[in-house]
A and B are shown apart, each in its own frame.
Chain A
Amino acid sequence: MSNVESSLRPALILGDKTLHDITEDVCRPIEDKPNKYWWMAFGLASAIFLWWLLAVTYTIGTGLGVWGLNKTVGWAWDITNFVWWVGIGHAGTLISAILLLFRQKWRLSINRSAEAMTIFAVICAASFIVVHMGRPWVAYWPFPFANQFGSLWINFNSPLVWDVFAISTYFSVSLVFWYTGLIPDFAIVRDRAKTKARKFWYTILSFGWVGSAKNWQRFEEVSLVLAGLATPLVLSVHSVVSMDFATSLVPGWHTTIFPPYFVAGAIFSGFAMVQTLLLITRKVLNLEEYITIYHIDMMNRIILITGSIVGCAYLTEFFIAWYSGVEYEQYAFINRATGPYWWAYWSMMTCNVISPQLMWSSKLRKNLFMTFFLSIIVNIGMWFERFVIIVTSLHRDYVPSSWTMFHPTWVEIGLFIGSLGLFFVPFLLFTRFFPVIAMSELKTILKSSGSQSKKGATHE
């Protein structure tokens, strides 16, 4: 409560909230019955989740032949989706870890849902790793575990093994970080609980939190340590993912620019996804006073910056292809822009490079409708970016006799659309059962003197 809010800064929480108001507002979705919008969303998410289940079952039951892959294009939508989901996850970690270290208090309204998004996005990403395997029942083999298969061990040279470490570390750190933050809030829900069941479950979830000074001290320390651990992950995870491509020798993949380019792209798409989710959440759960235009404006600025970095990377790739003088590299990029998949390339360019530039306008940055529209566009663009990198590089590589085209089947489309169900079903459950705003922490940025002090500070 020691935070002093500058009177010149716009308030982060609007509506003259008291500490109790915050508790009430955040706990309301957990304690009330869901409204019909929630039920509609949940119904839709469950339906597409069922499609995902069907597609996964069919793929594992029959074989990867039910996808559109072929001898030349060994990865397409599967790895596109994987990289897309991992990328989306990045915003959550960036918000909770890096912004914490930089003491950006505005993150407090959005970090909880952003972290939840990270967890569910990484689950979606991991599902594609498992499903894309020819033999998913041995998906545990890339882990270095003691075994009786003989002298078999994993190949530490392989970027896929690095991926295994990167993703599993990322998932576990994110999960612990998220859960740690949830403990005081669970305790609030527990203490307010009026039903036995709620009391029982939230007692377990809150790990015996009593709100003592020792509790808070440890909480702060753990948060800081975890933020320190998570910060390098923001940069490392997508760097490692990019090395799946960068360390190969496929023209269009074999590029040293990939790690920073992928990280920027990940944050870009992640923030776009946060925007999409929060614009809906704040409306549906009546949290407009916590997730304010200021937050949206800040996130749009990040989207603008990372979008420009990504655009710069696209142009650099072309320059380097020309400058390298390597025949295959040059053709890979010419083919990307003018070959049979030109439409994917130009969709990507439009969505990722041109449209974020609109954010230079302060008016558009603060326009909710425009933000929502652009956040969707950016996510489409970022999906195409991965598709362009993976498919257009593979489909015409070194030996022209093997050049082919890739056509997705309903199963692959089902896996992608269905993975949105896999994401939204837990996310919607999260909004009902977990406090969507880190209320305990949020209370720290409410001015201690309360609403009157705030009123008194306004210019008259």
Chain B
Amino acid sequence: MEKRYWKGVEELRNDAEFVRLKNNEFFEELPVDEVLGNKADTKEATPRRDFLKFMGFGVAAASLAACEAPVRKTIPYLVKPDEVVPGIPNYYASTFFDGHDYASIVVKTREGRPIKIEGNELSSVNKGSASARVQASVLDLYDSARLKGPMAKGAEAKWDTVISDIKNKLTETAANQRKIRIVSSTIVSPTTKKVIAEFIAKYPTAKHITYDAASQYGLIKAHQLAFGKAALPTYNFDKADVIVSFGADFLNNWISPVEHARQYAVTRKLNDGKKTMSRHIQFEAQMTLSGSNADDRFKLKAGQTGAALISLYNALANKAGIATINSSAKTEVDNALSSAANELWNAKGKALVICGTNNVNDQVIVAAINNILGSYGSTMSIARHSNVRQGNDEEVAELLREMNSGEVGAVLFYNSNPLYSYPDNSAFASALGKVGLKVSFADRVDETAAKCDYICPDSNYLESWNDAEPVRNSYSLTQPVIQKLFDTRQTQELLLSWIDSPVTDYHEYLMQNWRQGVLNNTTGGASIIDWEKSLRDGVTEFSISEAEPAFIGNVTTAAEAIAGRKSSGIELVIYEKAGLGNGTHANNPWLQELPDPVSKICWDNYFAMSPSMAKAKGLEQGNVIEVKVGNITIKGPVALQPGQANDTITAAYGYGRTHVGKAGNKVGFNAYPFVNFSEGSFNYSAAGASINKTGDANYTLASTQTHHTMMGRAIVKETTLEEYSKDPRAGNEEEKLVSYKGKVSPKELDLWATEKHSGFVKPLHAWGMSIDLNACIGCGACVVACSAENNVPVVGKDEIHRSREMHWIRIDRYYTSDMDKEKAKEEGVGKLSMYGYMEEPAENPKVVFQPVMCQHCNHAPCETVCPVVATTHSSEGLNMMAYNRCVGTRYCANNCPYKVRRFNWFKYSDNPQFDYNMNDEYGKMVLNPDVIVRSRGVMEKCTMCIQRIQYNKLEAKKNGRKLKDGEIQTACSQTCPTHAITFGDYNEKDSALSKQSKNERMYHLLEELNVQPSINYLTKVRNTHQSNSKKEA
């Protein structure tokens, strides 16, 4: 019998209860309903099986509650404005004019914040381009040094009381027959001028005095003497075959540099097989940006400018058969002058002579020369005059006398800061002390405003209404693109309220003025202006049919005044820098950090002198010297500037501000005191300077480029026009590498040269850029545009000195050296000494500029070395950076042959150590929301404005169309005044880029490395007969 085992007594007994339970899977009742049903929570006991569940939830909840996530408040629109769509930018046409520079602009706003300035394509003046200062002006809006409201006697005040107080005092002053003076820099707004005219009508003792810190009064007055019209001429460099400039830096800061640069580039570009270009000869003391772009450049001391002009006049007068001027003056450049005269005469009607001095007698001679050459009406015009400088130096001198004699009862400063910029500013200050009512409309407590009774801060131009007539019959409008940030008021409105005008709203007043056709009176027969269209376009322009006036000038008187000048000893030239201009925007860190195009020094001004002069005086870069002219002594550091005339020191104004804000205060020294008043105008050079080396410790000058020559390398390829006409490939010999097969193209030695790996596949787009080195003048507008577009941090002087600038695009500037490889071979100079000589720039070097940004290599050396694949290649040919993935080994930067990668050495935002716009509540509003602010420890570099590419791709996709060539513009290519940068798609056969890449001048930087960059360059062609190695001393 089978053995039977039983589990328990119950089974053995096998009673009924057991049998019933046995059929159940679970003997005990399960609390299914309690746990799964809703009853569970009513029970007090926690079921055992849920212990872990509750425990786990409890721990997780407790730990989650302990980690507090930062709360970021975003305030949604209660009522969303129609035109604002989050994420979609709006563009508004407007106008920039700060009393110095003019630009018709388009303002990009995001969610109601202006974040980027772009040039207005419709303007005939700047045609879509904007200078560095205009690009940077958007940051001035967010300058927290601006006043938040009006001030009275140094204390905060209320607008009502300030306005009524000033009004009472003005009325009283006028009633007492005491003079009221409105001192302003140049005003180009016809409507503002109308307001001022009405003000003067109401207060008859008032007078408007225009005072320009950087004056062109000499040129204006010369045209009054020569043509009976006191105005600045406009220039057409695009029509000039031969340009001779005497120290005029027309590409950098002279009158309308952006316009000039565009015109100049037209004659310099060699597209579509063009074999001609203009010839540009520069005579100058300083190494200016224009001079460094010249075909031939001759050193000429500033004191000899007049004599040189007379020589040129005489040479041309001889050819024209008119009377010459008696002159015995000789200059160092007489030979060059006579050959320049020949060239000018041969190009008669297509020639242009300009001179940079603010001296009426010099300018009369220049006007006479241009008259002989038939320039008026072709390469320049006085009929279509420019309004951008109207300063009257004599009236300013007269104002000082009036104030001193106590005749002036009230003075109003509008966009004018004479206590900083007036040469003898202490005299001005003491004279100002004798004025009863002093009002400043400055946006901050500047040097002058600090001494005023009332400060009525003017709104920023991006918050204002206004109009402008920069050039005769070219009108443009300024419109507000943001609600006023601070409690500021437009000066025009204040003036209107002081004259009890029926219309005190300036917007209303402006519209009325335009709609009433007031402009018609000034334009001579133009039809009624369409306000809406003008506002939308930003500009309204009319042609001029007026003839050029006849020459009535007297060269003999001018020549006599010139002959009376004494030129002796060391001369000092005061000039304007590309970044800071006249100093108004000194608190703009983007401008402070923009390296000078030629010296590459930023965050400072300095006494520049030629290396040979410094050697003779026993000075080195960074030595602190005292420069004494008359009774003015100023201390500053020495900088070496090859190419500068002997016995000439140069210093830039615009620095040494004391009341501008934390970025600009005490940067450099104020050079305005060296400006002197002679021959009826401010003279920006001084003779008889003496130098004295002080015992101070060496001063650190921060420079973005510390090596200045190309060391015999083919970095910037260059040829002459003569060579180029013979062979378009001249100067662009292909780089060959030595292999066992002999010399071969680097592409043949490709490690990946199999069919499968012959390059990245780019099925849709292959983005790239082409940079025409013949067009690039090195102005630096692209650098600021890039910083604004891509949230590039400002790092300050100390970090620049450590070679840690963050700019994604840089403009390399190279000087030629007296030594080159051929010369070394001919003269038997050994390799070691050859390289030694090559490091030294020549005494009068040729200069080349080369913008360098990430080259977006298709065989990128950076991509292979990154351990974490943080930098990769896109299917559109872009080299991309994933900031979040970067661990910061910097291997990519080391392996980049172009050295374009930038490392975040510190946290540059929200860090008091870098107290610039990214550490400022207001300054941060300028950041482009489409571009991330990079964190500490990651690498960054040019992205080819990938956010713009993406935006336009999506736009095209939304509209169901193909992208058009030229639709996408990178920040640099868009603002470039000379259109030297062409962005496009290599896959598009007819794109401007594809065409340009087929040019014989096309080359890739460091082609021999075969990294296959997406950026290409076009060789520089110089219209000179001198070869690079043989230069005049």
User: Are B891 and A400 neighbours in the complex by a CB distance under 8 Å?
Assistant: no
A69 in complex: contacting residue of B890, B936, B1006, CB < 8 Å: B890
B887 in complex: contacting residue of A133, A244, A248, A325, CB < 8 Å: A133
A-B contact count (CB 8 A): 172
Contacts of A152 in B (CB 8 A): 868-869, 885
Q: How far is the CB of B808 from chain A (nearest CB, A)?
A: 12
User: Are A138 and B887 neighbours in the complex by a CB distance under 8 Å?
Assistant: yes
User: Are A74 and B894 neighbours in the complex by a CB distance under 8 Å?
Assistant: yes
- A103-111, A158-166, A218-226, A426-434 - the one binding chain B: A158-166
User: Are A401 and B814 neighbours in the complex by a CB distance under 8 Å?
Assistant: yes
Contacts of B812 in A (CB 8 A): 399, 401
Report the Cα distance A46→B787, complex, angstroms.
47
User: Are A65 and B893 neighbours in the complex by a CB distance under 8 Å?
Assistant: no
Known: A63-B936, A70-B804, A160-B891. A400 touches B710 (CB 8 A): yes
User: Are B905 and A69 neighbours in the complex by a CB distance under 8 Å?
Assistant: yes
User: Are B713 and A68 neighbours in the complex by a CB distance under 8 Å?
Assistant: no
Contacts of B889 in A (CB 8 A): 132-134, 160
Q: How far is the CB of A242 from chain B (nearest CB, A)?
A: 14
Q: How far is the CB of A313 from chain B (nearest CB, A)?
A: 22
Report the Cα distance A108→B715, complex, angstroms.
59
Contacts of B902 in A (CB 8 A): 71
User: Are A134 and B713 neighbours in the complex by a CB distance under 8 Å?
Assistant: no
Report the Cα distance A247→B894, complex, angstroms.
12
Report the Cα distance A340→B886, complex, angstroms.
33
B864 in complex: contacting residue of A155, A394, A404, CB < 8 Å: A155
Contacts of A260 in B (CB 8 A): none
Q: How far is the CB of B980 from chain A (nearest CB, A)?
A: 17
Q: How far is the CB of B173 from chain A (nearest CB, A)?
A: 57
Interface hub of B835, B905, B907, B1011 (most chain A Cβ within 10 A): B905
Chain A interface residue number, banded: 35 or more
Report the Cα distance A401→B853, complex, angstroms.
13
Contacts of A327 in B (CB 8 A): 712-713
Report the Cα distance A403→B708, complex, angstroms.
9
Report the Cα distance A160→B895, complex, angstroms.
13
Q: Closest chain A residue to B899 by CB distance? A: A402
User: Are B835 and A334 neighbours in the complex by a CB distance under 8 Å?
Assistant: yes
Q: How far is the CB of B825 from chain A (nearest CB, A)?
A: 14
User: Are A249 and B710 neighbours in the complex by a CB distance under 8 Å?
Assistant: no
Flag whether B374 is at the interface (Cβ < 8 A).
Answer: no
Report the Cα distance A138→B885, complex, angstroms.
9
User: Are B835 and A159 neighbours in the complex by a CB distance under 8 Å?
Assistant: no
User: Are B869 and A153 neighbours in the complex by a CB distance under 8 Å?
Assistant: yes
Flag whether B865 is at the interface (Cβ < 8 A).
Answer: yes
A158 in complex: contacting residue of B705, B891, B898, B935, CB < 8 Å: B891
Known: A134-B889, A249-B895, A399-B899. A71 touches B805 (CB 8 A): yes
User: Are B802 and A70 neighbours in the complex by a CB distance under 8 Å?
Assistant: yes
Report the Cα distance A338→B890, complex, angstroms.
27
Known: A70-B804, A397-B897. A63 touches B869 (CB 8 A): no
Report the Cα distance A133→B891, complex, angstroms.
10
A331 in complex: contacting residue of B711, B799, B895, CB < 8 Å: B711
B707 in complex: contacting residue of A70, A158, A161, A403, CB < 8 Å: A403
Q: Closest chain B residue to A134 by CB distance? A: B888
User: Are B866 and A155 neighbours in the complex by a CB distance under 8 Å?
Assistant: yes
User: Are B938 and A134 neighbours in the complex by a CB distance under 8 Å?
Assistant: yes
Report the Cα distance A133→B712, complex, angstroms.
36
Known: A249-B861, A403-B707. A142 touches B899 (CB 8 A): no
User: Are B867 and A398 neighbours in the complex by a CB distance under 8 Å?
Assistant: no
Q: Closest chain A residue to B811 by CB distance? A: A401
User: Are A248 and B888 neighbours in the complex by a CB distance under 8 Å?
Assistant: no
Q: Is the interface of A mostly helix, strand, loop or mixed?
A: loop
What does the 1/0 interface line of B719-751 toward A look like (CB < 8 Å)? Answer: 000000000000000000010000000000000
Flag whether A154 is at the interface (Cβ < 8 A).
Answer: yes
Q: Closest chain A residue to B709 by CB distance? A: A400
Flag whether B813 is at the interface (Cβ < 8 A).
Answer: yes
Within 8 A of B (CB), among A125-151: 132-135, 138-139, 141-142, 149
User: Are A401 and B866 neighbours in the complex by a CB distance under 8 Å?
Assistant: no
Flag whether A157 is at the interface (Cβ < 8 A).
Answer: yes
Q: Closest chain A residue to B838 by CB distance? A: A400
Q: Closest chain B residue to A404 by CB distance? A: B803
Flag whether B937 is at the interface (Cβ < 8 A).
Answer: yes
Contacts of B864 in A (CB 8 A): 155, 157-158, 247
Report the Cα distance A132→B903, complex, angstroms.
13
Q: How far is the CB of A334 from chain B (nearest CB, A)?
A: 6
Q: Closest chain B residue to A398 by CB distance? A: B897
Q: Closest chain A residue to B804 by CB distance? A: A70
Known: A69-B905, A152-B885. A135 touches B937 (CB 8 A): yes
Q: How far is the CB of A140 from chain B (nearest CB, A)?
A: 9
A65 in complex: contacting residue of B709, B898, B905, B938, CB < 8 Å: B905
User: Are B894 and A398 neighbours in the complex by a CB distance under 8 Å?
Assistant: no
Contacts of A399 in B (CB 8 A): 715, 812, 852, 897-899, 1005-1006
Flag whether A72 is at the interface (Cβ < 8 A).
Answer: yes
Contacts of A157 in B (CB 8 A): 864-865
Interface hub of B710, B831, B899 (most chain A Cβ within 10 A): B899
Q: How far is the CB of A295 from chain B (nearest CB, A)?
A: 40
Flag whether A62 is at the interface (Cβ < 8 A).
Answer: yes
Flag whether B951 is at the interface (Cβ < 8 A).
Answer: no
Q: Closest chain A residue to B712 by CB distance? A: A327
Flag whether B243 is at the interface (Cβ < 8 A).
Answer: no
Contacts of B1009 in A (CB 8 A): 249, 398
What does the 1/0 interface line of A57-94 toward B look like (CB < 8 Å)? Answer: 00000111100111110110000000000000000000
Q: Closest chain B residue to A72 by CB distance? A: B899
Flag whether B706 is at the interface (Cβ < 8 A).
Answer: yes
What does the 1/0 interface line of B782-817 toward A look like (CB < 8 Å)? Answer: 000000000000000001001111000010111000
Report the Cα distance A70→B803, complex, angstroms.
5
Flag whether B312 is at the interface (Cβ < 8 A).
Answer: no
What does the 1/0 interface line of B529-552 toward A look like (CB < 8 Å)? Answer: 000000000000000000000000
Contacts of B810 in A (CB 8 A): 401
Report the Cα distance A248→B738, complex, angstroms.
20
User: Are B865 and A248 neighbours in the complex by a CB distance under 8 Å?
Assistant: yes
Flag whether A250 is at the interface (Cβ < 8 A).
Answer: yes
Contacts of A155 in B (CB 8 A): 864, 866-869
Known: A397-B897, A399-B852. A154 touches B903 (CB 8 A): no
Known: A64-B905, A400-B711, A401-B707. A248 touches B894 (CB 8 A): yes
Q: Closest chain A residue to B1009 by CB distance? A: A249
User: Are B888 and A133 neighbours in the complex by a CB distance under 8 Å?
Assistant: yes
Report the Cα distance A135→B886, complex, angstroms.
8
Q: Closest chain A residue to B715 by CB distance? A: A399
What does the 1/0 interface line of B929-951 toward A look like (CB < 8 Å)? Answer: 00000011111000000000000
Flag whether B832 is at the interface (Cβ < 8 A).
Answer: yes
Within 8 A of B (CB), among A180-224: none
Report the Cα distance A65→B798, complex, angstroms.
11
User: Are A74 and B890 neighbours in the complex by a CB distance under 8 Å?
Assistant: yes
User: Are A164 and B802 neighbours in the complex by a CB distance under 8 Å?
Assistant: no
> Which residues of B line the A interface, CB within 8 A?
705-707, 709-713, 715, 738, 799, 802-805, 810, 812-814, 831-832, 835, 850, 852, 861, 864-869, 885-891, 893-895, 897-899, 901-907, 935-939, 1005-1006, 1009, 1011
A selection of 28 A-B contacts at a CB cut-off of 8 Å is: A70-B803, A71-B893, A74-B891, A75-B894, A133-B887, A134-B903, A134-B936, A134-B937, A142-B868, A149-B885, A154-B867, A155-B867, A160-B866, A247-B865, A249-B861, A249-B897, A397-B897, A397-B899, A399-B715, A399-B899, A399-B1006, A400-B715, A400-B814, A401-B813, A402-B898, A402-B899, A404-B706, A405-B706
Given contacts A138-B887, A402-B898, 19 further A-B contacts (CB under 8 A): A69-B905, A70-B804, A72-B899, A74-B893, A133-B889, A135-B935, A135-B937, A139-B887, A155-B867, A155-B868, A250-B895, A331-B711, A331-B835, A334-B832, A396-B707, A399-B715, A400-B709, A402-B707, A405-B706
9 closest Cβ pairs, A-B complex: A134-B888, A134-B937, A65-B905, A74-B890, A401-B812, A70-B803, A402-B899, A160-B867, A403-B707
